[in-house]
């Protein structure tokens, strides 16, 4: 690498999550940027500390102990920039997901156009929509104002009107928002993002500019009825999220000072990396973060990003309301052990109260993984509705073809074996075709997304160094043939002339070992017009690289159907788990 490209600037990145705060050091090693070390500590956003700075300093101190370098001075302030004696760092970046989800009101003209754009925009960050207003809202103006007051929003997102289009209807809704803000106590007034007809910016500033602690503008999310562009507004919303958190959480302002403004919502930072990874990719790239605060789904298709953060599907405090979106039976179908519904319900409430607790028994581990499967399945199914219509898929009711799936989150990466992690992802996502599965064990992708604001070269080189764990290559088959009929013939040839041949039957799960770092040629011959990602019934020979689980063939069917007989279902789940190494 030319020395002109790498100047030796070190970077410390911190992620403040709902349960864990992590500090990661990136520096130049032998002329290339590398991930050096990670320190972690319990987050301190909630009582009794209620100051994220305490958890940040503890995580950095853990990093100091691991790396042997000093990053904090005697007053526990960050040493910026790096010093000649090796202490300190040259740059700092941060991501943030801790804190209550933002109570959000969305306002738009047409329910199925601008209001839908407002909904999709709000879902790019940690927001919970508590009220909406549009032209079809038949409530009187005073009733709308009362609804806004009862909603107690942290944030109002306003869209509507194409650029240069009609403005009177938008003005009418702005008046209701302005009156509601006027009636709120000054310290309770919401931040406002206006992403509608830009011709109205001055009028918006005049109507509500003095009635909100933060008024942000972005380009129109609907410049025309046929066009939606969320990217500029998503960036503005990320900035507004941090500003709102500054007033809600102690310590955020200090992190902003350290990072010189390079602090982002964790979901937004993950989305930046998934967009980058998908650039030039023939198929899509999916990034998943199943955290305590939210389930984040980021899907990139040739540089076009769909980003959704769902607090209602997080593995923390929102678990006590999970039954509003699913039922206990749907969760229990993933259990490998016979556990009463009452025990599962108690575990949901216990986990929502103490999100950081780790499974202490086999029953706890089984329930944790069952909950993770169901929440991730619900989040992915919901996000799939907003994927671009033109992406290639085997069927409209299934995920599109994905070249790469990267996953993070304690419930996934902390599974006792790689097989358990992969099976959880296969059950929840149910991908189709040829997919490479990676685990982001240290949760570094969002940190790299934040670091990119300082240094575009750093994330590229760190990714090339192999920070993601390669679980293996999975071929997921879609077929209409009967259970037990052959659907695939597979041949694996390694450079040392070894050959493995298997015939895969409908309903089965198979694994072909291929060590990490080892390359091979894989020939796939579908039978009965089965779809393996190359077209119905089409054969293909492709190069594959080994991983923790080699090559996995999933012919269990799409969508995956589980037996109604509980005993038989549990035995089948155990069999699949045993196939992938237990």
What SS3 string covers 555-568?
Answer: CCCCCCCCCCCHHH
Q: Name, in order, each residue with C-beta under 8 angstroms of 425's C-beta and a sequence gap of 6 or more.
A: 288, 376, 405, 407, 412, 437
- Give the β-pairing of 509-512 and 499-505: unpaired
pLDDT of residue 51: 94
pLDDT of residue 138: 87
For residue 48, say if its preceding peptide bond is cis, omega within 30 degrees of 0: yes
Tokens of 269: 């930072």
Rounded to an integer, what distance in angstroms lies between the CA atom of residue 557 and that of residue 513? 22
CA 134 to the chain's CA centroid: 29
What pTM was estimated for this model as a whole?
A: 0.94
198 and 218 in contact (C-beta within 8 Å)?
no
CA distances from 532 to 371, 486, 508 (A): 29, 13, 14
Sheet holding 499-505, edge to edge: 499-505, 486-493, 519-526, 540-545
Looking at the chain, the domain(s) classified CATH 3.30.420.40 span: 11-96
pLDDT of residue 7: 58
Task: Write down the CATH number for the domain with range 11-96.
Answer: 3.30.420.40
3-state SS class at 247: helix
pLDDT of residue 557: 94
Rounded to an integer, what distance in angstroms lies between the CA atom of residue 389 and that of residue 165? 26
Looking at the chain, the domain(s) classified CATH 3.40.50.360 span: 102-248
Rounded to an integer, what distance in angstroms lies between the CA atom of residue 273 and that of residue 267? 10
pLDDT of residue 1: 37
448 and 465 in contact (C-beta within 8 Å)?
no
Q: Which long-range contacts (CB under 8 A, 24 or more apart) does 34-39 make?
A: 34/461, 34/462, 34/465, 35/442, 35/444, 35/462, 35/465, 35/467, 36/67, 37/63, 37/66, 37/67, 38/63, 38/66, 38/442, 39/63, 39/64, 39/65, 39/66
177 and 107 in contact (C-beta within 8 Å)?
yes
Sheet holding 433-439, edge to edge: 304-310, 295-301, 284-290, 402-408, 433-439, 469-476, 551-554, 509-512
CA 393 to the chain's CA centroid: 21
Please give the angle made by the CA atoms of 151, 155 and 160, to the nearest 5 degrees.
Answer: 100
Q: Residue 216: beta bridge partners?
A: 193
Rounded to an integer, what distance in angstroms lies between the CA atom of residue 176 and that of residue 168? 13
314 and 294 in contact (C-beta within 8 Å)?
yes
Classify each residue of 309-329 as buried b or exposed e, where b means 16 or more C-beta atoms within 10 Å of its C-beta: bbbbbbbbbbbeebeebeeee
Superfamily of segment(s) 102-248: Flavodoxin domain (3.40.50.360)
Q: What is the mean pLDDT of each run of 10 residues along the chain (582 residues)?
A: 55 96 96 96 90 96 96 94 92 96 94 93 97 91 94 95 75 90 95 93 91 95 90 96 95 94 95 94 92 96 95 94 94 96 95 90 96 97 94 89 96 95 98 96 96 92 94 95 95 92 96 93 95 92 94 96 94 96 84
Rounded to an integer, what distance in angstroms lies between the CA atom of residue 316 and that of residue 304? 30
pLDDT of residue 394: 84
């Amino acid at each position: 690498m030319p020395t002109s490209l790498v100047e030796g600037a070190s970077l410390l990145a911190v992620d403040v999550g709902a349960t864990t705060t992590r500090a990661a050091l990136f520096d130049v090693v032998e002329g290339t940027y590398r991930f050096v070390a990670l320190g972690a500590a319990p987050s301190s956003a909630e009582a009794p500390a209620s100051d994220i700075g305490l958890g940040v300093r503890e995580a950095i101190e853990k990093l100091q102990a691991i790396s042997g370098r000093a990053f904090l001075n005697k007053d526990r302030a960050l040493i910026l920039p790096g010093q000649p004696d090796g202490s300190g760092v040259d740059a700092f970046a941060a991501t943030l997901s801790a804190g209550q989800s933002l109570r959000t009101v969305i306002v738009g003209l047409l329910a199925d156009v601008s209001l839908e754009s407002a909904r999709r925009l709000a879902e790019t960050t940690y927001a919970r929509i508590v009220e909406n207003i549009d032209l079809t809202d038949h409530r009187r103006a005073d009733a709308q104002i009362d609804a806004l007051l009862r909603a107690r929003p942290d944030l109002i997102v306003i869209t509507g009107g194409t650029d240069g289009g009609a403005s009177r209807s938008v003005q009418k809704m702005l008046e209701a928002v302005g009156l509601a803000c006027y009636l709120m106590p000054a310290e309770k007034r919401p931040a406002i993002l206006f992403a509608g007809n830009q011709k109205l910016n001055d009028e918006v500033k005049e109507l509500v500019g003095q009635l909100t602690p933060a008024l942000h503008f972005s380009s129109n999310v609907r410049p025309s009825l046929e066009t939606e562009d969320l990217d500029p507004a998503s960036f503005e919303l990320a900035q507004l999220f941090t500003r709102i958190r500054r007033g809600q959480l102690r310590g955020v302002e200090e992190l902003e000072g350290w990072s010189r403004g390079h602090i982002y919502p964790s979901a937004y930072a993950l989305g930046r990396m998934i967009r980058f990874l998908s650039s030039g990719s023939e198929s899509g790239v999916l990034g998943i973060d199943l955290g305590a605060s939210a389930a984040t789904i980021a899907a990139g298709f040739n540089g076009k990003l769909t980003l959704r953060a769902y607090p209602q599907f997080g593995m923390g405090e929102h678990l006590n309301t999970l039954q509003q979106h699913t039922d206990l039976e749907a969760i229990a179908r993933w259990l490998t052990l016979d556990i009463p519904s009452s025990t599962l319900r108690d575990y949901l409430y216990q986990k929502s109260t103490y999100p950081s607790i780790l499974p202490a028994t086999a029953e706890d581990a089984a329930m944790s993984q069952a909950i993770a499967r169901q929440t991730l399945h619900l989040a992915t199914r919901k996000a799939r509705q907003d994927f671009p219509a033109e992406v290639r898929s085997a069927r409209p009711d299934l995920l599109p073809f994905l070249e790469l799936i990267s996953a993070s989150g304690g419930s996934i990466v902390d599974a006792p074996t790689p097989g358990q992690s992969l099976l959880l992802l296969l059950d929840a996502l149910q991908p189709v075709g040829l997919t490479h599965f990676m685990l982001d064990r240290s949760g570094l992708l969002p940190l790299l997304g934040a670091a990119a604001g300082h240094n575009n070269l750093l994330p590229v080189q760190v990714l090339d160094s192999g920070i993601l764990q390669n679980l293996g290559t999975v071929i997921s088959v879609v077929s209409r043939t009967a259970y037990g009929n052959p659907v695939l013939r597979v041949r694996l040839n390694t450079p040392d002339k070894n050959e493995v041949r298997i015939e895969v039957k409908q309903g089965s799960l198979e694994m072909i070992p291929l060590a990490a770092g080892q390359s091979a040629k894989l020939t796939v011959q579908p039978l009965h017009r089965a779809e393996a990602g190359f077209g119905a019934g089409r054969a293909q020979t492709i190069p594959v690289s080994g991983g923790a689980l080699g090559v996995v063939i999933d012919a269990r069917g799409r969508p995956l159907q589980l037996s109604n007989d509980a005993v038989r279902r549990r035995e089948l789940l155990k069999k699949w788990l045993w196939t992938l190494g237990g």
